[in-house]
Amino acid sequence: MGSYNYYRMFGCFSRKFKINEAGPPPDVEGAFLNYAEKGTNMMADQFLKFLVDFQGEKDMTLADAERIMQHVHNTKHHLTKNIRKGLSMDDFVHFLLQDDLNGPIKTEVHHDMTAPLHHYFIYTGHNSYLTGNQLSSACSETPIIKALQRGVRGIELDIWPNSTKDNIHVLHGRTLTTPVPLIKCFKAIEQHAFVRSGYPVIITLEDHLTPDLQAKVAEMAIQIFGDMLYYPDSGSLEKFPSPEELKQRIILSTKPPKEYLETKDKVRRTESFESEDDLLVKELSEAELEPDEKCESHGTNEDANGDNCDRPPSEKTCQLVAPEYKRLITIHAGKPKQGLKHALITGTDKITRLSLSEQALQKAATSHGTDLVRFTQKNILRIYPKGTRVTSTNFKPLTGWMHGAQMVAFNMQGHGKSLRLMHGMFRSNGGCGYVKKPDFLMTSGPNNEVFDPKVALPVKTTLKVNVYLGEGWRLDFSHTHFDAYSPPDFYTKVHIVGVPADVSKKRTRIIEDDWGPQWDEEFKFRLTVPELALLRIVVREYDLSEKDDFGGQTCLPVSELRPGIRSVPLYDKKGEKLKSVKLLMRFQFL
């Protein structure tokens, strides 16, 4: 054991570095000695006891333990023919570092999937067809396919007439984005909808079509999706079905057109607003709602009811809408007729989906936070990025989740910290794209009180995190990637992201000149709402003169963490799993 010192010369430059040959961390060695026979070999029954008692895997059987041991022997000793009866210390460490056998979270669906749709957070994309920025990038079915392969369940399509007005294109309207035919997007969804998850895909349509083209959308949807397409026989939902009921089904959601475009009296727009709350409501109800509620016949910035229409009432035409198109819309989107505040407080007469921009959400959360929570107990709320995010960046999703918003819509091509949080949340529940909301977001107290994110709560649990060691950089990166003349200087940052009271940041010390750093450090996080907490982990390489280099990251839902010593695989900046890089960590709830 121990380490060796070496010297490397380059001209006048000299730097000392070491190759680490230290043994396993004390906790790992101690666990092995506690369960192994005479401290030398861990037999199947002893390994099972370790898995059940130390790792908390209560459902493990002796057959499971034997199967894992056989897998370890096959992968570690595949070149030898010796029959091995148990696990040596090296075998034990090898097992601990296999994230496919000993990962940090469950990999199968384990939430109750029989509750109505609005009881779940839903993995949702925004402008799902864009390959890059919001103004000039190409539109394509490829980003839709990638999103579905990752487990995204909410796909957004902006549908517009083509230049000859006889077919439908998907594009970001009034920008320089190049279109893709709707039929290509529908076919991509049909072919890839259920490759990652069998649970329903919701297509939200931002509809800018005339009735004849809406009829063409209906024909296209029926022809391509066939029996996959779900819509209620009665024409409207009485209640939301469950993800389990809707497995292998595709659902359309948009604002259903009225049978006739009706002229609206605009006098109500001149009503007085006496307080800041009322001014907020005016801003929210008129400016901040999803721009998918557009006037289909005029193609301008008015809503489908004709409100704020540029044409005077006398110039409007009454057009019959395509009845088949209207019938296929399962989740009705809409705009509250009497303003957002009224809808939040009194509810709506039918179950619906409302959309708010991130700014509108923030304003509503500040003034009417508990009303938002109460609204999402019966309806679906979708949050989308503000229009100024032209480079396809994203906002922090926690505000939406804290208030029960089911569909926090993200630009999946907008890589960064916010998207990594989204990836982390939807690693929950086997990555199926539906995460059961905590019970406190779906229930009311004896006085009809609901969860209030602003109210400080007592500490519910303490998460203890041990960061033992890391490995794999030498295999996944060139030897000069981090430093041209010596091994890297790694450190690990461990953050909690969640309700404001739970947010916390920690970091290990820097281990200099070592491709296989051992930190063996412990951190404690006091959590008031662990159900909404995410554990964000980032490894960086210290650089004295420039920005520290990126060495891998992951984000894990705290509520899903498996206790015990676990192998934590790391991902690149875009969320793709690195082949070899991983951390050995331990998680305990105190």
CA distances from 471 to 19, 24, 87, 103 (A): 13, 13, 21, 15
Interacting residues of 578 by C-beta distance below 8 A, sequence separation 6+: 472, 476, 552, 569, 570, 571, 572
Q: pLDDT digit string (tens) for 434-448?
A: 999 999 999 999 998
Residue 159 belongs to some domain of the structure: yes
Within this chain, do residues 287 and 329 fall inside the same structural domain, yes or no? yes
Note if 119 is an active site residue. Answer: no
Decide: pTM greater than 0.95: no
Within this chain, do residues 92 and 122 fall inside the same structural domain, yes or no? no
Domain enclosing residue 138, as ranges: 117-439
**What CATH number has the domain bearing residue 228?**
3.20.20.190
Beta bridge partners of 469: 518, 584
**What CATH number has the domain bearing residue 572?**
2.60.40.150
Within this chain, do residues 405 and 511 fall inside the same structural domain, yes or no? no
| Number of domains present in the structure of the chain | 3
Note if 415 is an active site residue. Answer: no
Interacting residues of 320 by C-beta distance below 8 A, sequence separation 6+: 211, 259, 260
Helix (H) or strand (E) holding 400: helix 398-402
Residue 262 belongs to some domain of the structure: yes
Residue 22 belongs to some domain of the structure: no
* Mean pLDDT of all residues in 455-480: 97
- Name the residue among 393, 476, 434, 416 with its Cα closest to residue 126: 393
Within this chain, do residues 561 and 476 fall inside the same structural domain, yes or no? yes
Within this chain, do residues 139 and 73 fall inside the same structural domain, yes or no? no
Catalytic residue among 119, 172, 208, 298: 172
Within this chain, do residues 312 and 343 fall inside the same structural domain, yes or no? yes
Catalytic residue among 73, 126, 169, 332: 126
Residue 10 belongs to some domain of the structure: no
Q: What percentage of the chain reaches a pLDDT higher than 90? A: 76
* Mean pLDDT of all residues in 124-147: 97
Within this chain, do residues 468 and 349 fall inside the same structural domain, yes or no? no
Residue that terminates a domain, selected from 67, 96, 125: 96
Q: What percentage of the chain reaches a pLDDT higher than 70? A: 83
Q: pLDDT digit string (tens) for 507-526?
A: 999 999 999 999 999 999 99
Q: pLDDT digit string (tens) for 563-574?
A: 999 999 999 999
* Mean pLDDT of all residues in 398-406: 98
